[in-house]
Amino acid sequence: MPLIVQKYGGTSVGSLDRIRNVAARVKRTRDQGNQVVAVVSAMSGVTDGLIKMAKDLAGSPSEREMDVLMATGEQQSIALVSMALQEMGVDAASITGRQAGIITSGSHTRGRIEKIDPAMMKQMLDEGKSLVVAGFQGITPEGMIHTLGRGGSDLTAIAVAAALKADVCQILTDVDGVYTCDPRVVKNARKLPEISYDEMLEMASSGSKVMQSRSVEFAKKFGVVFEVRSSLNDHPGTLVLEEHPHMENVVIRGISIERSQARLTITGIPDAPGMSGLILGALADAEINLDMIISNIANDGFARHSFTMHSSDLGKAQAALKRVLTDLAPNSKIETEAGIAKLSVVGIGMRSHSGVAATMFKALGNADINIGMISTSEIKIAVTVDEMRIEDAARSVHDAFELHKAPA
Ligand code: ADP
Ligand code: ASP
Ligand code: MG
């Protein structure tokens, strides 16, 4: 019997009616002759609510306790979805991360899946049950609860699909698939029939939260083909898979935006070996996730570094740098800018096409939007702009590449 893993996100289980809808969909899939494993997120807003409670109580709460707290969100929804299924006469059972055998490593709140021991899931499937697995959680070999980073139920679903060698993996969400840009921002964005792992990964890691980026990395590594589609209708979604010659022949597959970014620039750094290592080392020790890194030598003979990061890390980054710079570079200065956002264009076609940057920058210029920093990779060009203008920027670049049109 084919095995289907379906992942239902927070909005899809966001109310009792939505939970009944999920249960009906699971039942339908089962009635069509499939074994079903549904991986579910916490009801929408629940994880945010738990985080807020913890922060109101403790300022900077212990990450171990944050994991214990946040994992409860998914535990509520697996029980509720299982109950809804049982009400419909389906033999269903909830499974926590631990029961699913999801073994993690790494830090609290950012656990990484090391392996899955699917024995219990397999046994219950053999007994004819449909399973409802808690997303976003796993357990360390020492028995500590870990969560897998925000949006981590996507990773649970992909990893469970790999471990059970599922025939189909569906990420069911509140949009019909992966679009050329967030359809809430660019109204005429187009749903893509297919996207390669590399493009999905670049889009996810530059702000397209439709998929958690680590889940896409995992899918690529283990060759899990998956489909992103709506939990509310039966429209075909977007297949995410290894690139192949028959994919739509486009230069730009999509555009991502990421808000709440900040820039930090250090000037007056002595132009000497080892300085960059010490500066980046201090930021790494403070667990700051840097995004863009741009360095150059100013004409005064001193070096300057500019970094972007999430704006919530700015204070921590400044404090970490002040500590090292006082000794290393007493004449250095730190300058910061918050309220910026990042716009990225992504496409494997960029490998063999030139002129993408020119089209992108002209579109922004024509819309009177100033570009801050620029960074590029083989399949991505990213710029920072004033956060107030990010939606205009996305729309003008989307128009310039005519992404609303299906390629001929
Ligand atoms: P879930 O709760 O199902 O995990 P998410 O909210 O994490 O859902 O992700 C779905 C959301 O991702 C959509 O509602 C949409 O606003 C946003 N999104 C961002 N970029 C894209 C894109 N390129 N295509 C589709 N959705 C996108
Ligand atoms: N509930 C978790 C979150 O909100 C995990 C998920 O939804 O995928 O980040
Ligand atoms: Mg999500």
Ligand 3 center from residue 216 Cα (angstroms):
12
The rounded distance, in Å, linking the Cα atoms of 49 and 57 is: 12
Name the residue of 69, 146, 153 whose CB sits within 8 Å of the most ligand 2 atoms, as the mutation to test its pocket: 153
In ligand 2, the atom with minimum distance to the C-alpha of 9 is: 7
In ligand 1, the atom with minimum distance to the C-alpha of 255 is: 23
Residue 10 in contact with ligand 2 by CB distance below 6 A:
yes
pLDDT at 408: 84
What global pTM score does this model have? 0.96
In ligand 2, the atom with minimum distance to the C-alpha of 149 is: 9
Residue 215 in contact with ligand 2 by CB distance below 6 A:
no
Q: List beta partners, residue 386.
A: 340
Stretches in the chain below the pLDDT threshold 70: none
In ligand 1, the atom with minimum distance to the C-alpha of 212 is: 7
pLDDT at 298: 74
Residues measured by CB to lie within 5 Å of ligand 3, the ion: 9, 151
Ligand 3 center from residue 119 Cα (angstroms):
27
Domains of the chain: 3-174 (3.40.1160.10)
pLDDT at 345: 98
Ligand 1 center from residue 330 Cα (angstroms):
45
Residue 8 in contact with ligand 2 by CB distance below 6 A:
no
In ligand 1, the atom with minimum distance to the C-alpha of 153 is: 4
Ligand 2 center from residue 28 Cα (angstroms):
25
Q: Whose CA is nearest to atom 5 of ligand 1?
A: 210
pLDDT at 300: 80
What is the Cβ-side half-sphere exposure of residue 307, based on CA atoms within 13 angstroms?
20
Residue 42 in contact with ligand 2 by CB distance below 6 A:
yes
The rounded Cα 174 to chain-centroid distance in angstroms is 15
Ligand 3 center from residue 155 Cα (angstroms):
10
The rounded distance, in Å, linking the Cα atoms of 372 and 387 is: 11
Contact 133, 40 (CB under 8 A): yes
Ligand 2 center from residue 41 Cα (angstroms):
6
pLDDT at 396: 98
In ligand 1, the atom with minimum distance to the C-alpha of 44 is: 2
Contact 341, 258 (CB under 8 A): yes
Q: How far is CA 265 from CA 120, 151, 284, 293, in A?
A: 52, 30, 16, 10
